[in-house]
Structure 1
Amino acid sequence: MFSDGYANASIGPVNNILTMLYPDTMTKHNKSILSAIAFAGIIIGQLSFGYISDKVGRKIGMLICTSLIFVFQILAACSSGPTPQVLVNCLIAFRFFAGIGIGGEYPSGSVAAAEATENSDVKKQRQQRLFVWATNTMLDFAFAIAWFVALVLLWIFGMHHLRAVWRGILLIGAIPPLVLLIARLFMDEPEAYKKNSMRHTRIPYWLLIKRYWVRLLAVSITWFIYDWITYPFGIYAGTITDAVIPNPTLYQTLGWGCLINAFYIPGTVVGSFVADWIGPKYAMITGLLLQAIFGFALSGAYNTLTANGKIAGFAVMYGLFLSFGELGPGNNLGLLASKAIGPTAARGQLYGIAAAIGKVGAFIGTYTFPYIQADFDKRSKYLSNTGLFWVGSALAVFSAIITFVFIPNIKVDYMVEEDQLFREYLAANGYDVSQIGEPGYTEADIAAGAHPELGRK
């Protein structure tokens, strides 16, 4: 997930640099499209690779996604054209296709990581944190490192060679997927997938939806709200920067971008242990409620925290607000989506649906927040600066309620137990479960003595 996070985050500093190089071309429309086009690709990738992950295999899905990110990250770095607008159009197109690879990693890579945490050789007390480290923690580190790489390249090349800087940012983003692609060639499918996939038999979708629709809907709603809040809240990085330095240089803008993204890291690291201690459900509720408390505090004490241009108190509170978001939904939405909302046989598709609905929330939030803030602007300066925190905090409380009421907690070996319950549920409804699993792992093969780990009779 590090390669996905870097590819996704790198467009932020690139957008800033292109705006300095081509101010007439980088209009508000072009900047918005360049930032948001990846959402369209991500949603397509999440939905399409959910099916590929379940019916073709986790490994092949991961290999295709990594290849897409690698190829289109290089092509984006090499974008060119006779005019700046053509160059920007090339970047937009390549970002879209890279987005498909990024989106496909959710139902392929994340699901495979979740299933691998319940392999027989994994310590049961570490199952949840291992998943968090492999997914959200890597994403958060990647976001911070993408901005830091931009700053380092700016130090190296300077303001007179900004073309080398933005191309270098994108080109470096091709290294992690290349390394990952090589490593994944030697990976095997997770044990859970081998034993419980329906790759060679029909998935009974009606029975699946009847059993899991409430969990799927609950996780999807909370993911929608989380992304609707989280992605647009990046605008407050600019609030902090402008308060400290009214006219920041590019060095200062990139430095603050690195710092703001670093605020996520303590939350995801600490939260990974909390998920093992109290379970993902209650870790998520704890993070949401703490985020809401700090959000309401930021709103209520905003004038005090920012009086006389003093921004340190606001920056610390804002950092804690972001960290608690990672301790809660940032870490645990992926855990709940991969482990709680369905069986191994359809996990990729159900995860992809929930994640895609989340990205729709991000897309809508990115476009609606400016209008919401404009409405607050008309009312008062205070509401202009704090209104979004009131909205975000209220939605965090709403998400906590949905999680508490509708989503089960994840215990040790939860997926193993759920797969067995799903088999029993299918059998009780007249479905032939003997062909569930990969060749050698089906009940029929095991009964015939053809299990690969037990040998043939």
Structure 2
Amino acid sequence: MERPLSIEKHTGHTPPEAAPIQEQPTNTSYEGHSRPAYDETEKSRWERLWPVIACGAGLFSDGYLNGVIGFVSTMLGKIYPTAYASSPAQRNVSSITFAGTVVGMLIFGYTSDHYSRKWSLFASTVILIAFAALSAGSYGAGGSSSGLFAALTAWRFLLGIGIGGEYPAGSVGCAESTGELKSGTRNRWFILFTNVQIDIGFVVSALVPMIVVLITGEDHLRAAWRICLGLGVIPPLSLLYLRLKLNEPEAYRRETMAKAKTPWLLVIKFYWWRLTIVSLIWFIYDFSGYSFSLFSSTIVDNLLGDNSPLWKSFGWTTLIYLFYLPGCIGGSFVSDWLGPKMTLGIGVLAQGIVGFIMAGVYSYLAHPQNVAGFVIVYGVFLALGEFGPGDNIGLIASKSCATAVRGQYYGIAAAIGKIGAFVGDQVLAILYNRYKDTDPIKAGQYPFFVSSALCILSAGIAFFLLPHIGQDTIDEEDVKFRAYLAENGYDVSQMGVQRESAEHIVGQTEVEGGNEVNEKVSKA
């Protein structure tokens, strides 16, 4: 695809074909034509940055809505001690969102590539608002608790579809928008408005229940859990207008196959191995990261004992989640300095080592008088997870493939990651519940042994099998993919949404310029 030319108004007696073309600096070429880099734009700093914010910040909802359900589940267990404990809802309410998220990632991965990044993102935002509100208003027919649990489970599944849409539409749009930012800062801006937003969402998801329970008291938990879920409407609602004003990212406008047939066989041959590696690392990260996040309130509650106030358990969990922030914020800067591959590998290796240490000393930490020590060690374990894979796996997934198939590539990798979260939630719960009554030490140790072993495996995969991701990888990957398609007989002139309009503008300008010159010649 030829880049649009900058047309100057022709004056004097110079024929239009001889007038100099205003050239832009170029970074590479394909099909024999030069193309400007994505950051070669006259936009102001704010005009470049606000699409990054609007696309990525919605992931705060992922952190909040996924995190808060663990606390809501604890409240429901207090309100309905027998009915909830004996119901499959105790497990399903927390984990069903992951199933919906997988569906949303796959659906919106497809629509973001084949229809629109902007409108896919807008649709996912509307879904988030609607089903966050409906979750808060869940009600069983005749006031039955089983009906309430069934309704909440159903709304949480549909809410997950909206959360899933934030990943391929929002994160991918965010990554493409960072291409217009200054080289050397792109990774941190992506991370600050994707993973950091998720982690802030988790912190708030623990802080809000603590404050609400302090206000309502434990005698009014029926109101407290609904308030906690209802507040989840506010974050996506605040982004709705910004997302309505978004334009499609420049990379998408150049490279989309929305109006062309996708050569699936060529895409699979080119990306299957890379997608497998990225998906495997994401599976392992979510297996430990998300499942431990949901699991942490249960662990702390048991450490503090049955007689501890609920707000105190939520408060300690808030402190644990706060450890996410130095990890993810620090990792965002290191990712620009060392690169995503090395940062991910170093972070997850260190996390595995700390996890083994924690499992080894768990017999000492697993006492109410040592809960502060547990929180610190566990917090470091979680912080390292955010420093490494938490910050960088989404970045690698969004920049390690071409723009034309990025939404689907990212959606598949993220969906496999969420399957890891679901599997981890089930496996760690089974391990914990198997030993919690007979051997509480093993109940706490075994989940950390399993997670830490997977961290070491993930580090090896990252160091030896992940591709290098540089500051200009999005642009470079688009060029490589186009060249590969062209070599295999695919008509790359079909790609992009600007080609026809750009050629029309150029043609019209040349005709107008030619007519102007002819008029001046005849007058002379």
- TM-score bucket of the superposed structures, by smaller chain: over 0.9
Maintained 8 Å contact 1:46/1:104: yes
Indicate the residue corresponding to 1:262 in structure 2.
322
Indicate the residue corresponding to 2:146 in structure 1.
85
Alignment partner of 2:195 out of 117, 136, 139 = 136
Indicate the residue corresponding to 2:492 in structure 1.
433
Report the AA paired with residue 30 of structure 1.
A
Q: How does 1:50-69 map to 2 (within 5 A)?
A: 50-69=109-128
Maintained 8 Å contact 2:316/2:375: no
Q: CA deviation at 1:304?
A: 4.3
Equivalents in 1 of 2:448, 2:219: separation in Å? Answer: 39
Indicate the residue corresponding to 2:20 in structure 1.
none
Equivalents in 2 of 1:23, 1:373: separation in Å? Answer: 19
Q: CA deviation at 1:301?
A: 2.8
Indicate the residue corresponding to 1:386 in structure 2.
445
Indicate the residue corresponding to 1:323 in structure 2.
383
Report the AA paired with residue 5 of structure 1.
G
Maintained 8 Å contact 2:366/2:441: no
Structure 2 unaligned residues grouped into runs of 5+ = 1-58, 514-524
Equivalents in 2 of 1:321, 1:160: separation in Å? Answer: 35
Matched, 1:243 2:303: yes
Deviation string 1:277-326 (CA, Å, 9 cap, x unpaired) is: 10111110010111011112112233344579423333211110000000
Deviation string 1:409-456 (CA, Å, 9 cap, x unpaired) is: 211111011101111111111111112111x2x3x655565599x999
Moved more, 289-298 or 256-265: 256-265
Equivalents in 1 of 2:238, 2:444: separation in Å? Answer: 43
Q: How does 1:278-289 map to 2 (within 5 A)?
A: 278-289=338-349
Q: CA deviation at 1:233?
A: 2.2
| 1:167–1:246 CA distance, 2 compared to 1 (3 A) | closer
Q: CA deviation at 1:7?
A: 2.0
Deviation string 1:57-115 (CA, Å, 9 cap, x unpaired) is: 11011011000000111111122231122122211111111110001111000110111
Matched, 1:194 2:259: no
Moved more, 376-385 or 39-48: 376-385
Alignment partner of 1:395 out of 446, 454, 468 = 454
Moved more, 319-328 or 205-214: 205-214
Indicate the residue corresponding to 2:210 in structure 1.
151
Q: CA deviation at 1:232?
A: 2.7
Alignment partner of 1:26 out of 76, 84, 92 = 84
Q: Determine what percentage of the aligned residue pairs are the same residue.
A: 43
Indicate the residue corresponding to 1:17 in structure 2.
75
Equivalents in 2 of 1:70, 1:173: separation in Å? Answer: 8
Indicate the residue corresponding to 1:272 in structure 2.
332
Maintained 8 Å contact 2:304/2:313: no
Indicate the residue corresponding to 1:113 in structure 2.
174
Maintained 8 Å contact 2:297/2:314: no
Equivalents in 2 of 1:455, 1:412: separation in Å? Answer: 40
Equivalents in 2 of 1:89, 1:44: separation in Å? Answer: 19
Q: How does 1:87-236 map to 2 (within 5 A)?
A: 87-119=148-180, 122-234=181-293, 235-236=295-296
Q: CA deviation at 1:141?
A: 0.5
Instruction: Indicate the SS of the match to 2:84.
Output: coil
Report the AA paired with residue 96 of structure 2.
I
Maintained 8 Å contact 1:285/1:403: yes
Maintained 8 Å contact 1:72/1:95: yes
Structure 1 unaligned residues grouped into runs of 5+ = none
Deviation string 1:22-41 (CA, Å, 9 cap, x unpaired) is: 22321252111111111111
Indicate the residue corresponding to 2:66 in structure 1.
8
Structure with max Cα Rg = 2
Equivalents in 2 of 1:14, 1:303: separation in Å? Answer: 29
| 1:374–1:250 CA distance, 2 compared to 1 (3 A) | closer
Indicate the residue corresponding to 1:294 in structure 2.
354
Q: How does 1:347-426 map to 2 (within 5 A)?
A: 347-373=406-432, 382-426=441-485
Equivalents in 1 of 2:90, 2:368: separation in Å? Answer: 33
Equivalents in 1 of 2:373, 2:407: separation in Å? Answer: 43
Equivalents in 1 of 2:412, 2:495: separation in Å? Answer: 23
Moved more, 226-235 or 58-67: 226-235
Equivalents in 1 of 2:127, 2:160: separation in Å? Answer: 9
Deviation string 1:311-355 (CA, Å, 9 cap, x unpaired) is: 333321111000000001111110011111x21000000111111
Indicate the residue corresponding to 1:337 in structure 2.
397
Equivalents in 2 of 1:450, 1:146: separation in Å? Answer: 53
Maintained 8 Å contact 1:450/1:456: no
Indicate the residue corresponding to 2:96 in structure 1.
37
Maintained 8 Å contact 2:300/2:313: no
User: How high is the TM-score relative to the length of structure 1?
Assistant: 0.93
Maintained 8 Å contact 1:41/1:99: yes
| 1:361–1:300 CA distance, 2 compared to 1 (3 A) | same
Equivalents in 2 of 1:13, 1:381: separation in Å? Answer: 22
User: How high is the TM-score relative to the length of structure 2?
Assistant: 0.81
Equivalents in 2 of 1:251, 1:355: separation in Å? Answer: 33
| 1:451–1:123 CA distance, 2 compared to 1 (3 A) | farther
Q: CA deviation at 1:162?
A: 2.1
Q: CA deviation at 1:261?
A: 1.8
Moved more, 364-373 or 234-243: 234-243
Equivalents in 1 of 2:304, 2:339: separation in Å? Answer: 40
Equivalents in 2 of 1:142, 1:149: separation in Å? Answer: 10
Maintained 8 Å contact 1:228/1:366: yes
Equivalents in 2 of 1:103, 1:456: separation in Å? Answer: 49
Equivalents in 1 of 2:79, 2:205: separation in Å? Answer: 20
